[in-house]
Chain A
Amino acid sequence: DIQMTQSPSSLSASVGDRVTFTCRASQSISSYLNWYQQKPGEAPKLLIYAASTLQSGDPSRFRGSGSGTDFTLTINSLQPEDFATYYCQQGYSTPHTFGQGTKLEIK
């Protein structure tokens, strides 16, 4: 299985900040990398697929980048509704494993 490692595991930030999360794959996954947002008590929501394509309806302050083994998710100008847990997932080979998540908390 391909292992996905996210860092940091948690992050504190303020409304209006810019934050960056990273996700590393244990082997090259080309651009088959997806990002999800999950709020407490809710199902995960797809934010970005294929490393950098924003899912329809998602705000443009979310930006994904990377290829191969190293990927980043950047949120510009944090909004109150952005405080959640973010997961990366590889879609390169089954099982399409998830990272362990990064919890974004309000400072």
Chain B
Amino acid sequence: VQLVQSGAEVKMPGESLKIACKVSGYSLNSFWIGWVRQMPGQGLEWMGIVYPGDSKVTYSPSFQGQVTLSVDRSTSTAFLQWSSLKASDTAMYYCARHAVVGYFDYWGQGTRVTVSS
């Protein structure tokens, strides 16, 4: 099982961004894929999960409306996107495979997003 994330991004406030998480080594439709934020020097925050089978998404209320989770089954890739970045979006973002009982058992290496003017 591997989750490989796209590279670091440096953006300006107001710009849009879509980061990727390509999965391999298991049947994509068997597990949800989740995203976790870690702001500099801070803890882990559960953002939401997406089910590749039908693209159903469950967001944390803290992130609802702030980001969009999606998946492209043809490329086995999950995405996290912003339409208008803020400086407060500066963080490391991890994707991870989400088991039915709520744990993340395989993680990507992380994508660092820096938003600065």
Residues on A lying within 8 angstroms of B by beta carbon are 1, 32, 34, 36, 38, 43-46, 49-50, 55, 87, 89-92, 94-101
Contact = CB atoms under 8 A, between A and B. Distances in A.
Contacts of A38: 44
> Secondary structure of the A side of the interface?
loop
B8 interface: no
Nearest to A38: B44
B44 A94 contact: no
Given A43-B108, A44-B44, A91 B62 contact: no
B109 interface: yes
15 contacts: A1-B60, A43-B107, A43-B108, A44-B44, A45-B107, A46-B104, A89-B103, A91-B102, A92-B102, A94-B49, A95-B48, A95-B60, A95-B62, A98-B43, A98-B46
B110 interface: yes
Interface bin, chain B: 20 to 34
Nearest to A1: B61
Contact of B94 (A43, A87, A99): A43
Contacts of B45: 98
A96 B102 contact: yes
